Structure 1
Amino acid sequence: MDRNDLITTLQNEANLKDCFNKEDIAILAQHMSVKTFDDNAILMRKDEPADCMAFLVSGRVQIIEDERQIALLTPGDCFGESMFSEEATQVASVQALETTKVGWFTIHDFHDLLETKQRLALQFREVFKAVGRARTEQHAAETYTDKRKYLALIAHNNMKESLMEFCNIHTHKLEQFPLIATGTTGSMLFKKTGMCLSRKVASGPLGGDQAVGTLISTQNIIGVIFFRDPLSSHPHHADIEALGRLCDVYQIPLATNPQSGEAILDYLLSGKADHQPLPNRVLESYVKGQKKVVEAG
Structure 2
Amino acid sequence: MTIAILAHDSRKELALQFCTAYSAILSKNTVIATGTTGRMLAQTTGLPVHCYLSGKLGGVQQITSRVACDEVDLVLFFRDPLKADASSITEQNLLRLCDMHGVPIATNIATAEVLLRGLDQGDLDYREGMHPALVEPVPAAMPRRVTA
Q: Name the TM tier (shorter chain).
A: 0.7 to 0.9
Following TM superposition, by how much is the alpha carbon of 1:235 offset from its aligned partner in structure 2, in angstroms? Answer: 8.1
Q: What's the counterpart of residue 36 of structure 2? A: 184
What count of residue pairs does the alignment treat as equivalent? 127
Partner-residue secondary structure (3-state), 2:3: strand
**Is this contact kept in 2: 1:205–1:236, CA < 8 A?**
no
Q: Aligned runs of 1:22-101 on 2, under 5 Å?
A: none
Q: Which range moved further: 156-165 or 188-197?
A: 188-197
Pair 1:212-2:63 in alignment: yes
Q: Quick check: 1:261 aligned with 2:112?
A: yes
More relative contact order in 1 or in 2 (CA 8 Å, sep 6+)? 2
Separation in 1, partners of 2:75, 2:65: 13
Residue 193 (1) aligns with residue 56 (2): no
The CA deviation at 1:174 is 1.0
**CA offset at residue 183 of structure 1?**
2.2
Measure, in 1, the Cα distance between the counterparts of 2:43 and 2:55: 21
Corresponding position: 1:161 with 2:13: yes
CA–CA distance in structure 2, aligned partners of residues 205 and 190 of structure 1: 19
Kindly provide the amino acid, as one letter, of the partner of residue 68 in structure 2: S
Query: Retained in 2: the 8 A contact 1:152–1:225?
Result: yes
Of 188, 203, 214, the residue aligned with 2:54 is 203
Aligned to 1:272, the other structure's residue is in SS state coil
Name 1:293's counterpart in structure 2: none
Matched to 2:76, the amino acid is I
- Tell me, yes or no, if the aligned pair for 2:25 and 2:116 is still in contact at 8 Å: yes
Matches within 5 A, 1:214-293: 214-234=65-85, 237-275=88-126
- Give the Å deviation of 1:236: 7.8
Q: Higher strand fraction: Structure 1 or Structure 2?
A: 1
Larger radius of gyration: 1
When the two structures are superposed, what TM-score results if normalisation uses the length of structure 2? 0.79
Deviation string 1:184-230 (CA, Å, 9 cap, x unpaired) is 11221122111120x22112222211111111121110100000011
Report the AA paired with residue 190 of structure 1.
Answer: A
- Go from structure 1 to structure 2 and tell me whether the alpha carbon gap of 1:253 and 1:235 turns closer, same or farther (over 3 Å shift): closer
Q: CA RMSD in A?
A: 1.7
Evaluate the alpha carbon distance shift between residue 183 and residue 205 of structure 1 in structure 2; reply closer, same or farther with a 3 A threshold: closer
TM-score (norm 1): 0.41
Once the 2 structures are TM-superposed, how far is the Cα of residue 274 of structure 1 from its aligned partner?
Answer: 2.6
Q: Which position in structure 2 is the counterpart of 1:144?
A: none
Deviations 1:94-121 (A, max 9, x none): xxxxxxxxxxxxxxxxxxxxxxxxxxxx
Structure 2 unaligned regions, length at least 5? 128-148
In the alignment, which residue of structure 1 is the partner of 2:145? none
Q: Deviations over 1:234-269 (max 9, x none)?
A: 288100011000000001000011111011112222
